[in-house]
Structure formats: structure tokens, C-alpha cells
Amino acid sequence: MADDPYHVLGVSKDATDAEIKRAYRKLARQHHPDRNPDDAAAEERFKAIQAAYDQIGTAAARKEYDQQRRIEEMFARGSNPFSGFSGGGGFRTGGFSSGQGFDFSDILNQFMGGRGGAEAQFQQQPRQQTRPPQPPPVQRGPDIEAGIDITLEQALNGTKIEFGHRRLRICERCEGTSFNSRKPCSKCSGKGVESRSSTITVRVPSGAQHGQQLRLKKMGHEHPQGEPGDLLINIRLDAEEGRRWEGSRLIQEVAVPYSTLMLGGAVRIRTPAGKRVQIEVAEGTRIGDRRRLAGHGHDGGPLDIEFILAEPEQVSKKQKEALDRLRDSGL
């Protein structure tokens, strides 16, 4: 399996799309072959970065990647997310590859929107004879999990987000009745459900937190003969340039000139609330040192600042001379 693209780009799984783009741009600049001529390792790394970005760099690609990963994880845990479709006998994980005309990629296609016209066959399997009679299980379509990105300001005030939503809906022609029947419907090929998309409006309450999950009841995949699953929406707050979340902690990078790190001094920062604040930098501060500023984070919470080295785009002649003297002195 290819490397985890989140890991390659150095972002967390709940990073916003914008955060992923920023991380990509930074890494692509750093590892660009033009900057690293004749460095095979840098070239490999650059290719890996590109590949990772192809996987999760756009909202659509990322949605697909995340969905696939969730399905794979569900199977890896040995549970069966599609038991609701089986009508009792159940597709067991082991049954997928054993030549029953059932291809795992069909399910994925189905859940990804049925590209290529793949047709999953939701066949009823015979009940095992040894089992005592059991009440029929509650039939339920699978849940869908998705993420939406909002700004810090939208989170404070609440907002409405238009969300493009694709899911399995009851077939319009047979209304689900051809599921498992001997005469499959020509529209849904006897699945009883078909993939349809719509745009829904998601209401995000004020005070929404990064990582909070909204559950939209019955907005998941519909089941031809049972209840629909739910739609689970993970809220991601875009921390904006130079900031990131570590769990629920908001980290802001503060670029400090090397001389200020060594000698101490002060820098000014802009907080998430747009306030300008002066930060005292102690003598001998190191790159990566952190400090917590109470009340300056999102929604009045703490803001953790992390010192990084300011890298000037250009160095003046005077600065070059000063750097020369620094070098001569051994620094």
C-alpha cells in the first residue's frame, strides 16, 4: 500500500482542505528538483509529495480517498458494515473474494457513486442450518461520514453550508421492491437502491468546535427494505495561514529573526481574533519553543505560539556584511 498521504504532507487527518494545500505548497517548494539538483532522494520525496497531493489535494479527491479508507478500516476490524443489506445471512468479510460474483471494488464503486457502471450484487445467502431461529435483524443502510471546512469566524457565529451529497437512495422505478426478487428491476438491477446526488444545507451551530461531529439522522445510505443510515459530518475549522490544530489545541507559528532568538527581544503577532499582541522573546529562545497565551485562541480559549526561524526572502548588502562578521566570529 502506498504511503499515507496525510503523513507524507505532514498534516493531521482532520486538517482542512486549505491547510493541506498550504502544507503541499511549502513542501513542494522545499523539495523541488530545481532547488535540489542531482539529489535523487529529494526527487523521490518530491514525487511522493505530488502523489500524496493527487490523493487528497482537492476536496473531491480527498472525499473519495477518505471514504475508501473508512470502508477498508471497517473491513480490517472484521465487522461487516453492509450486514444491513444482506437480509439476515450476511456478507461476511471472507465471502468477498471467494468467487461469488462479488467484487470488493464493486462495493467501493457503489459507495463512491457507481463509476464505470459496476454492479454490486446484493444477493441473499441461505441461512445456516445450525443456527437457531433469530428475530430478523434491524435493517439499516450504512452511515456516511464526511468533513466540512469552515472559518474560525463561521464557527463563532454559526453558519449554513451547502453540501454536495451523494448517497444510495431507494430506486425510483421499483421503490426498492426488486431487491432480492427474482425479477430484477432494469433501473437498479435488483439492488433496490441507486446512487443519486443532491445538495443539502448543513446548519452549523454557533460555537462549533474543531473536530465536532454533527449527526444528520437518516441522511446516510437508504436501505431498500429498512431504515436509512445517518450522515456524520466532521467539522473542521480552518486555522488560517501559519496556524494549525493539534487535537483541540490551536498552534500559531511565530517567525522570529535569529538575532532576536539569541539576544531576546520582542515580536508582534496577530491573534485569531485579529488583535495585535506583542510577545516578549527571552534570550536564548530556541526554534520550536512554545508559550501559551490565555484567552487569545479561538473563542476565548488559549493560543499556543511556537517560535520558528524567520527566513528573509532577501538579504541587504549591509546584512550580508554583518553575517560575514558573524561567520568570522564562529556563529
Contacts with Zn ion, residue ranges (CB under 5 A): 171, 173-174, 178, 185, 187-188
CB of 195 to Zn ion, least distance (A): 12
**In terms of CB distance, is 185 or 281 closer to Zn ion?**
185
**In terms of CB distance, is 151 or 180 closer to Zn ion?**
180
**In terms of CB distance, is 106 or 149 closer to Zn ion?**
106
**In terms of CB distance, is 52 or 188 closer to Zn ion?**
188
CB of 122 to Zn ion, least distance (A): 12
CB burial of residue 42 (10 Å; 0-12, 13-18, 19+): middle
Which residue is it, cell 498550504? 22
**In terms of CB distance, is 224 or 272 closer to Zn ion?**
224
Cα(60)–Cα(56) distance, integer angstroms: 8
Secondary structure (3-state) at 196:
strand
Secondary structure (3-state) at 163:
strand
CB of 115 to Zn ion, least distance (A): 19
Cα(230)–Cα(217) distance, integer angstroms: 5
The CA R_g of the chain, rounded to the nearest whole Å, is 26
Residue 65: which of 76, 52, 74 has the closest Cα?
Answer: 52
Note the helical H segments in the chain: 5-9, 17-30, 40-56, 59-76, 104-112, 152-157, 258-263, 317-328
Cβ atoms within 10 A of the Cβ of 124, count?
14
Cα angle value 55/57/61 (rounded, 5°):
55
**In terms of CB distance, is 173 or 325 closer to Zn ion?**
173
CB of 171 to Zn ion, least distance (A): 3
Which residue is it, cell 437518516? 218
CB of 190 to Zn ion, least distance (A): 7
**In terms of CB distance, is 123 or 260 closer to Zn ion?**
123
CB of 191 to Zn ion, least distance (A): 7
CB of 188 to Zn ion, least distance (A): 3
**In terms of CB distance, is 181 or 209 closer to Zn ion?**
181
CB of 192 to Zn ion, least distance (A): 6
Q: What are 162's strand-pairing partners?
A: 201
Residue 112: which of 171, 170, 70 has the closest Cα?
Answer: 70
CB burial of residue 199 (10 Å; 0-12, 13-18, 19+): exposed
